[in-house]
Amino acid sequence: MDLEIIGIKNCSAVYMIKRFSLALILFTALLGAVASPQGGPALSIHFEYNPEEYADVRDLQKQLVKALKKSGAGELDEPELHADGNDGYFDIRGQDAEMLYRIVRSILKSSPLMKGAEVTKRTAAGKTKFMIR
């Protein structure tokens, strides 16, 4: 595009616009990589619950958010809770699935809601699934 058409004649202004555009593209790419290194959550926890346990699910969510915020290692997406109250999902985004699991492991294991929950860790090596006992 000829920048003189839109009224920019100064070479230093053109240079600054190009630099700003490149910086914006790089920042956007970096932000996307930090938020979701594999294009999805680093950790997914699939669990079953009853509608009467909704408050317990929200309490667990608050504990996970607090631990993740304190560590600065990742963040919890809004939980997916099916309306019929039988399936729920916690998705955690961050760079290191192993570290994220170390941060939330004790919280998950201490919650009766998580007994039998399936955890999926996504790393560069692939996916690993296991049950919380």
- pLDDT tens-place values along the chain, 133 residues long: 454 555 555 556 555 555 555 454 544 444 443 444 445 789 999 999 998 899 999 999 999 999 999 999 999 999 999 877 789 999 999 999 999 999 999 999 999 999 999 999 999 889 999 999 9
Q: Which structure tokens are listed for 129?
A: 């699934």
For the CA atoms of 48, 50, 53, 56, what is the dihedral angle to 10 degrees?
A: 10
| pLDDT given for residue 108 in this prediction | 97
Strands in 18-102 per DSSP E:
43-47, 74-76, 80-81, 88-94
For residues 98 and 117, is the Cβ–Cβ distance under 8 A? Answer: no
- pTM value is 0.69
| pLDDT given for residue 41 in this prediction | 86
